[in-house]
Amino acid sequence: MRKIKLLLKHAFLMISSLICLFPFYWMVVGATNLSKDITKGTLWFGAEFMNNFRAVQETADIFQAVLNTATITIVQVPLALLICSMAGYGFEKYPSKTRNKLFNVFLLTMMIPFAAIMIPLFNFVFDVGLIDTKMSVIVAALSNTFLIFFFRQSFKALPNEMIEAARIDGASEIGIFFRIAMPPMKSTFAAGFIYAFMKEWNNYLWPLLTLQSSENRTLTLFLSSISSAYYVDYGQILVSVVIATLPTILIFMTMQKHFVSGILGASK
Amino acid sequence: MKKRLGLLLATGMLSFSMILAGCGNSSKESGANGAGGASGAAETNDEAATEETQKITVWAWDDNFNVAVMKTAAEYYKKLNPDANVEIEVISNSKEDIYKKLQTGLASGGKSLPDICLIEDYSIYQYLNSYSKYFYPLNDDVDYSQFSPYKVEVMTYNDKAYGIPFDAGVTGLFYRADYLEQAGFTAADLEDITWDRFIEIGKQVEEQTGVKMTVANGTNYSSLFRTMMQSAGAWYCDSNGELTITNNEVLKESLETIKKMRDAGIILECADDSTLAGAINDGTTASVINAAWRVSTIKAEPEQSGKWAVASTPRLNNANSVNASNTGGSSWYVLDNGQDKGAIVDFLKAVYAGDIDFYSDILVNQGAVGTYLPAQEGKAYQTEDEFFGGQKVFAEFASWLPEVPSVMYGKNVPESNTAVNTALFSYLQGDITVEEALTQAEDQLKNQIQ
């Protein structure tokens, strides 16, 4: 009886994972086939990967787009993590009368859709002369309410005694943050990193509005632009999608362990 | 360990701030030049006097089609005017993305707009209606009688014409000559027919060959009923932009015709546009009704070379209906962002309203059927295409072009498409009558846009 149950459980899990993995499989298979074969429903590997790849390069500069997205992400993510973790730490570890009210205001901003603040923000970025620069994309996402909230929740698990002990020993407040508070939160930072990375790597609407020239185009804009042609070449699109997805998959694979424990709120 | 961590962080932050500083400096320059914005442009004009190269930015959305066409236009302009100090930069984004950017730029007071933007005929009215002050009228500069009248009609607002007409969505009936021959039909049997005749032929084709007569996106018939409607000079609204869906005899006949076709079983219904393309390439359909740009999908399967042919679009029984119609199409619009328009207008005039070789070039290389009427004299239009059994495909399309009835598209085309399409489905299922479907569509639309 128990064996049957176990078997059923595993069968269910395997079917579910097949369903989840199929799009990835199809993406890779599609990248190796011609567009006309993809629309006919081919499900096995073809020999056209290099041709599709060459066609993408002839259409537009995909590596420039990868480079742009990478630059923005590499600069933005560590800065956002630093700012948000410090903010979360500050909210949690420095008692004051207004901190909860202020924090509630922060949380409320999560409910304002981006579309509502888009045009004022665009006006602002234009007026300060940041339009069509990578800076405009980086700066706009430096403070992220969800990340501040996430870090604050995690810092709750950090015993105040440790901070007090460090203070008595004469450590500076900044020193306490970097030397006492940060090291045990490795998995929280890893989870935050994956979150911020994916958000920035897939960022679409804001770069679309502020980045104007072709040299500054990010990967998401590149993908969107090649998929709206009158004659859609699915082979080209899928090759580009494979290239665009690789870094996310790699990062998730290498940091998967931390991601799960970080989301569960572990703090050793 | 702790020390090393601190050191690492310190150097990390230092390098980030340096990168940031670098980004900031270079960005300011490109911001002023590249964006073509009002403030930046004013500065460059003052200092740079005459000899500076003027940069013309263009937004377009298809790298193999209109982006490539604009790049070709830039080359032609350079040949015509080797001394002109202009640099034309074409920026490619998806169509939806361009509309979002354009909308944001217009809504924030004309900031960061391109010099020239490609806009679909179905969408231009809503922009001219709300933001005509940011568009630059060209009727003093361009002779619009040289272009297809129905394209000029679309870009006229308050008696001013904006933009340069670009590609025609003139439609045709692409068919598999081999299947039709097998069923006993010649090319003459398909020329200038009605939809009723098309259905009769379709039934026989399926009987003889086992192949469905035509193909459509089974979730979205809007391209088909739009084509039918425009063939009789009708639309969702009248020439004042007032909705006329409920009592629209032409739209009613269009929907009834689609139901007749579907009930006769001659349509292969596809789940989406990619399976539709697949059906064309794997030979499971004997025809497809679409604009000239379908040629590229059809030619994607070289094994079918010589088997295709093209005939004029079938017409409705309505007395106004002709064997010519249109679906889609777009035009170039000049945006008024405070810069001097002289060079831009000169460029558009010289190439798009004057160079016949250019039109032949883009027809051959991009399959773009222009709407500049004198260009039809160009040799490319007279070329026989082996893929279509030696037929002069583009000469055919060009001959239908002047016959396409003019229609005023109004400002709610995407919403109207959805509303009518949704109601059409209830009608196709037999749940409601065609009159009820039209009323339902108009009610839904009015709720949505008010």
pLDDT digits (tens, 9 = 90+) for A9-37: 999 999 999 999 998 898 888 888 887 77
Residue closest to B409 by CA, chosen among B166, B254, B229: B229
Tally of structural domains, chain A = 1
Asked whether residue B289 is assigned to any structural domain, the reply reads yes
Min Cα distance A136 → chain B (Å) is 9
Examine residue A143 and state whether it is found in any structural domain, yes or no.
yes
pLDDT at residue B29, rounded to an integer: 37
> Is residue B158 scored above 70 in pLDDT?
yes
Q: Which residues contact B365 (CB under 8 A, 6 or more apart)?
A: B68, B72
**C-alpha to C-alpha distance for A179 and B209, rounded to whole angstroms:** 79
Confidence of residue B247 (pLDDT cuts 50, 70, 90): confident
Residues B378 and B261 in one domain: no
Angle between helices B2-34 and B38-48 (to 10 degrees): 70
Nearest-CA neighbor of B336 among B61, B95, B102, B38? B38
A115 located within any domain: yes
* CATH number of residue A170's parent domain: 1.10.3720.10
What integer pLDDT is reported at residue B378 of this predicted model?
81
What the block records as the tokens of B99 is: 């509309």
Greatest alpha-carbon pair distance for chain B in Å reads 89
Q: Is residue B193 part of a domain?
A: yes
What's the residue count for chain A? 268
**Assigned domain for B15 exists:** no
Residue B431: name the closest of B267, B259, B265 by CA. Answer: B259
End-to-end CA distance of chain B: 66
B307 and B333 belong to one structural domain: no
- pLDDT score, position A264: 59
CB distance B277–A39 less than 8 Å? yes
User: Does residue B11 lie in a domain region?
Assistant: no
Chain B residues within 8 A of A211 when measuring between CB atoms = none
Residue A222 located in a structural domain: yes
Report the amino acid identity of residue B143: D
Whole-angstrom CA distances from B69 to A3, A107, B183, B370 are: 66, 49, 40, 10
- Whether A229 sits inside 8 A of B63 (CB atoms) is yes
Domain holding A129, by residue range, is 61-263
Regarding whether B239 and B319 lie in a shared domain, the answer is yes
Backbone dihedral angles phi then psi of residue B171, each to the nearest 5 degrees:
-100, 160
Q: What's residue B38's pLDDT?
A: 39
**Residue A13 within any structural domain of the chain:** no
How many Å separate Cα B171 from the centre of its chain? 12
What number is the ipTM of this complex? 0.77
Please give the Cα distance from B172 to A95 (Å, whole number).
74
Cα gap B157→B143, rounded to integer Å: 16
Confidence check: pLDDT of B246 > 80: yes
Residue B260 lies in a domain: yes
The CATH number of the domain where B75 resides is what? 3.40.190.10
Is the domain of B266 the same as that of B123? no
Residues B161 and B76 in one domain: yes
Domain count, chain B: 2
User: Does B289 lie in the same domain as B418?
Assistant: yes
Instruction: Measure the CA–CA gap between B151 and B168, rounded to whole angstroms.
Output: 8
The span from the CA of B337 to the CA of B321, in Å, is: 42
Domain of residue B64 covers 47-168+329-382
User: Is residue B241 a part of any domain in this protein?
Assistant: yes
Whether B339 and B409 map to the same domain: the answer is no
Q: Cβ contact (<8 Å) for B64 and A225? A: no
Q: Which tokens hold the place of A264?
A: 């569960």
- Whether residue A3 is contained in a domain is answered as no
Q: Which of B19, B23, B293 sits opposite A133 (nearest CB)?
A: B23
Whole-angstrom Cα distance, residue A228 to residue B97? 10
Phi, psi dihedral angles at B332 (to 5 degrees): -90, 130
B256 burial type by CB count under 10 A (0-12 exposed, 13-18 middle, 19+ buried): middle
B239 located within any domain: yes
Q: How far apart are CA B225 and CA B294, in angstroms?
A: 17
pLDDT of residue A115: 85
Of all residues in chain B, what percent carry a pLDDT higher than 90? 48
Which has the closest alpha carbon to B198: B225, B173, B169? B173
Q: Do A129 and B32 touch (CB under 8 A)?
A: yes
In a shared domain, residues B248 and B178: yes
Provide the whole-model pTM: 0.78
Same domain, residue pair B178 and B284: yes
Contact (CB<8Å) B282/A133: no
The pLDDT tens digits for A133-185 are 888 999 888 888 999 999 999 998 888 998 999 999 998 999 999 988 888 88
Spatial CB neighbours of B277, under 8 Å, sequence gap ≥ 6: A35, A36, A39, A232, B297, B300
* B35: closest CA of chain A, how far (Å): 7
| Residue B104 near chain A (CB below 8 Å) | yes
Q: What is the pLDDT of residue A263?
A: 59
Model pLDDT for residues B35-68, shown as the tens digit of each residue:
333 333 444 444 444 557 888 999 998 887 888 8
Please indicate, yes or no, if residue B227 is contained in any of the structural domains: yes
Residue A47 lies in a domain: no
Q: Which of B219, B244, B221 is nearest to B446 (CA)?
A: B244
**Across the interface, which of B35, B63, B64 has its CB nearest the CB of A132?**
B35
Residue linked to tokens 């390098």: B15
- Residue B345 and residue B444 in one domain: no
Q: If you ran DSSP here, which 8-state letter would residue A159 be given?
A: -
Whether B94 and chain A come into contact, CB under 8 Å, resolves to yes
Does one domain contain both B181 and B158? no
With CA atoms as reference, the chain A residue closest to B23 would be: A135
Asked if residue A17 belongs to a domain, the reply is: no
Chain B hits for A41, Cβ within 8 Å: 278
- Per the domain annotation, does A32 fall within a domain? no
SS3 at position B200:
helix
**What rounded mean pLDDT belongs to chain A?**
86
Rounded to the nearest 5°, which phi and psi values hold at B439? Answer: -65, -45
- What's residue B232's pLDDT? 94
Does residue B247 sit in the same domain as residue B208? Answer: yes
